[in-house]
Amino acid sequence: MKKVGWIFVLALGILLIACDRAVLPYVPAEEEPPPASRPVRIPGLENPTPRGRRGAPVPARRSIRGTVRLGPGIAAPGEGALFVIARSQGGGPPLAVKRLPLGPFPLSFEIGQQDVMMQDTAFLGPVLLFAKIDRDGNPMTSSPADLTAQTSQPVEPGGTGAELVLQRTGG
């Protein structure tokens, strides 16, 4: 009998410890306060602000706009995908990538914060732009038949008029 009593006391103690939440008094519906006329805002929690390389907030979505053209004597392939790639001027992995369907050339593009590869990375410049038509649609493979282009000068986000002229990569 004594053993059963200790088990009961132990179970009651665990129940009391585990049930430590505050119980609010019942408020009838007619006594509820009216809903807020405007949403409650907590500073810093409305929308996450992308941060730059040094922790500074990134300016509002500034994209780079431009055109991809075919070089002289180059015919558009019938199949594949067009990739526009932005890389930081210092090199490294792609900062942003945009996949576009092959369409009539010249083809307009816009690449920016919405196209970054890693969610918390800010689309900051200067960046070099690259374009590639990949016949099998996989940007990780290369073929001599692929067409590529690169801007001659770095471009700042917010820039317009970037031009990429596609040429053959090899044989």
Mean pLDDT of 119-147: 83
Determine the pLDDT at residue 1.
Answer: 53
Determine the pLDDT at residue 98.
Answer: 94
Round to whole Å and give the CA distance between 94 and 83.
Answer: 11
* Token pair belonging to 79: 């199949």
Round to whole Å and give the CA distance between 171 and 32.
Answer: 77
pLDDT at 163 over 90: yes
Instruction: Specify whether the CB–CB gap between 89 and 154 falls below 8 A.
Output: yes
Task: State pLDDT tens for residues 5-63.
Answer: 778 888 777 766 766 666 677 888 888 877 777 766 666 555 555 555 566 655 556 89
Residue 14: in which H helix or E strand, if any?
helix 2-18
Instruction: Specify whether the CB–CB gap between 145 and 51 falls below 8 A.
Output: no
Instruction: Walk me through the domains of the chain, giving residue ranges and CATH numbers.
Output: 64-168 (2.60.40)
* Token pair belonging to 99: 């996949």
